[in-house]
Amino acid sequence: MEQGQDLKKENSEKNSADATPDKDDFDMSHFSDEDDEGIVSNWAKKFGLLIFEVVKVVLISLAIILPIRLFLVQPFYVDGASMEPNFYNKEYLIIDEISYRFNEPQRGEVVVLKNPKDTRVYFIKRIVGLPGETVEIKDGKVSIDGKILNEAYIEHLSSQSHEALTLAENDYFVMGDNRANSYDSRTIGPVNRDYVIGRVWFRGWPLDRFNTFNLPIYEFMN
């Protein structure tokens, strides 16, 4: 019995010794904050690179788009019914500005221009009379230098008349296609070249009316 007790006591002491914590167990040096700081630092670098790439893409895009937007083409919405049936309210148009830096506006072109009476307002009209020409309107029919202009794009002529007017250099006579409902050169007079922004290049909206625009073919009638 005594030997068994000694054995039991010895095992008890051994278990007690095993259970005693070693001082190394309290060493927290391997739980340093450096690992957490490293993870945070890596994420910060990745986030910084992402922001840099986004900013770079935005700047490059602006460098490409802004010159095009300011000097080459501009978007406009049709406002009103003055150009019906060829252009309707809220249609989305792209205006070509670059062509008029090298060429003069031509008869039949649909242009966007500033209202000479209020340059904050923009119009969309068709060029009918060119510099130096004499424009006269009788019962809705336009005459250029005494010859009646055949305008196939007009559905309904108005009954209005306008006395003969000889255009000065750089002046244009512009009219809406909806002759009975258009505020144009019959009221505001000729429009100087400086007020012409650009010609209508294509219609982007609505999709079922997507179209580019060519000069109409004119015939003069005596």
pLDDT in tens, the chain (222 residues): 444 444 444 454 444 445 455 545 545 455 455 555 667 677 777 777 778 677 766 665 555 455 544 544 567 888 888 999 999 999 988 888 888 888 899 999 999 999 988 888 899 999 999 999 999 999 889 999 999 999 988 988 888 889 999 999 999 999 999 998 999 999 999 999 999 998 988 888 888 888 887 788 787 766
Alpha-helical regions (H) of 68-205: 185-188
Is 181 within 8 Å of 82 (Cβ atoms)? yes
Query: Of the residues 14, 82, 99, 117, which is catalytic?
Result: 82
In a domain, 111, yes or no: yes
- Can you give the CATH number for the domain in which 173 is found? 2.10.109.10
Tell me how far apart the alpha carbons of residues 97 and 27 are, in angstroms, rounded to a whole number: 76
In a domain, 23, yes or no: no
In a domain, 197, yes or no: yes
Query: Of the residues 90, 125, 138, 182, which is catalytic?
Result: 125
Closest CA relative to residue 187, chosen from 95, 125, 104: 125
Instruction: Provide the pLDDT for residue 159.
Output: 81
Instruction: Provide the pLDDT for residue 50.
Output: 76
Instruction: Provide the pLDDT for residue 206.
Output: 87
Overall domain count for the chain:
1
> In three state form, how does the secondary structure of 53-92 look?
HHHHHHHHHHHHHHHHHHHHEEEEECCCCCCCCCCCCCCE
Instruction: Provide the pLDDT for residue 59.
Output: 61
Which DSSP letter does residue 27 get?
-
Closest CA relative to residue 203, chosen from 122, 70, 87: 87
Helix or strand holding residue 164 (H, E) = strand 162-166
Instruction: Provide the pLDDT for residue 10.
Output: 47
In a domain, 9, yes or no: no
Largest CA distance in the chain: 144
Residues 6+ apart with CB under 8 A from 98: 71, 72, 73, 198
Instruction: Tell me whether residue 16 is one of the annotated catalytic residues.
Output: no
Instruction: Tell me whether residue 32 is one of the annotated catalytic residues.
Output: no
Instruction: Provide the pLDDT for residue 35.
Output: 57
In a domain, 29, yes or no: no
State which residues form the domain around 129. 74-221
In a domain, 176, yes or no: yes
In a domain, 185, yes or no: yes
Instruction: Provide the pLDDT for residue 40.
Output: 67
In a domain, 45, yes or no: no
